[in-house]
Amino acid sequence: MSQYTPGLYPVLPDGMVVVDSSDAGPASPPSITPTRSLTSRFLSGCKSALNNMVNAQYIKPRFSAATPVWLLGVMYGDDGPPLAADGGGGGGGPVIVREESGGYVGISRSGSVDSTGSGGSVGGGGSSSSAHPHIQALLSDIWSRPWMTYREGFPPILSSKYTSDVGWGCMLRSAQMMLAHTMFVHVLGRDFRYEPGCPADLEARHRSVLALFADVPSDRAPFSVHNLLRHAAEDGVTPGSWLGPSMVCRTLCRAVNQEKRAGPQLRVYLALDCLVSRERVEETILSSGQDWCPVLILIPLRLGTQQINMAYVPALQRVLANPMCVGILGGKPRHSLYFIGFQGSEMVGLDPHTCRTTDDPSDKSSTLKSYHCNSPRKINFAGVDPSIALGILCQTREELEGFYAFSAEETDTKVKPLYSMSE
């Protein structure tokens, strides 16, 4: 477990903040004023209830117990084979399996193996397959990932009258999820499982990360929607505008790179034109003032014209099966999702399109359940918009070299590579 130092910004191991086209398009939702009538609040409540019901029930996915599921580098399934270069079985490096209490837990390609507890209040599944031990372990893992959704009732954003991001802020919320998961890995560990009533020190670290994303304009929440839009304004983005994957990556870079109150704790390298430059990655790391600091590599891509070229699917599967992957930003046109895994021909993602009343995770009286999801989405690869962004986190120099080797391997197989590498 990482060393924790109390403070406004969680101190991450080895120290953790981004260095370094555009696809933002203005949406036109109605202005939302800070003061709302009783009728307005009633209608908003009805809309939120319907939205929550649709997202939590109607589209709750089914996970087949017969087909392995990959989730951010961990495979859940009964005796499922490692992922091969073509997305099938065979090859792919060492596989480690661990069982706990007689039940299947997970398979990982890395030296660290995913573990799980009871999982707390875990939902999803929607069929008897949820009774299988590995499905329960999968749902526990999904439940423990950070979930950022639409919120309403927060202070107005910048000089606008927007007190909610409903209808236009989904990509910002997806980006928050990717960054929050990155920090979860550093502060809590990849094997973290959220269970209400956990030890006080774990609860404090959990809250300290989520508090960085609270819906307030204050500096104490540097990755709030308010502050992200303040950075996006440098590219002409205004509240109410929808951001695409490429633009939100630029926004994340500015927001994290300029958060220096706790010292350099993370650097983010933004790949341009689908090209990852080893020289620029090294410059990004050294800009922290240290020989090494963790680096988050963001790679915006366009994998087709109107829809994804299916020739890229095996490579996308291999990325999601890589333990260094922190997810993929994408979805459908103007309907963003945060993709965290896949099962067969379907991607698994967290959907921000649920509206909740804003709260402050730093308030110990507030519940954290609204920041965790028990009903993930599944969408066929063929239905995903071709504009996406990959996230790769390298916490050590060895992992960075492993990422380079992984990328080189992609070009040496029959898989159609997603990006290029240069020295």
Would you call 253 a catalytic residue per the annotation?
Answer: no
Exposed/middle/buried for 351, CB within 10 Å: 0-12, 13-18, 19+? buried
Rounded Cα–Cα distance for residues 209 and 177 (Å): 11
Own/partner contacts of 90-98, CB < 8 Å, gap of 24 or more, are 92/321
Q: Which residues contact 156 (CB under 8 A, 6 or more apart)?
A: 34, 162, 163
Q: Which of 353, 355, 359, 394 is catalytic?
A: 353
Would you call 141 a catalytic residue per the annotation?
Answer: no
3-state SS, residue 313: helix
Q: Which of 170, 249, 293, 394 is catalytic?
A: 170
- Taking each helix axis from N to C end, the angle separating 170-187 and 200-210, rounded to the nearest 10 degrees, works out to 140
Q: Which of 141, 351, 359, 385 is catalytic?
A: 351
Q: Where are the alpha helices (DSSP H) in 188-312?
A: 200-210, 225-232, 245-257, 278-286
Exposed/middle/buried for 138, CB within 10 Å: 0-12, 13-18, 19+? buried
Tell me which DSSP letter residue 49 carries: H
Would you call 394 a catalytic residue per the annotation?
Answer: no
HSE (side-chain half, CA atoms, 13 Å) at 320 = 30
Q: Token digits for 2?
A: 């990482």
Rounded to the nearest 5 degrees, what angle is found at the Cα of 292, between the Cα atoms of 287 and 298?
A: 70
HSE (side-chain half, CA atoms, 13 Å) at 5 = 7
Q: What is the set of active-site residues?
A: 170, 351, 353
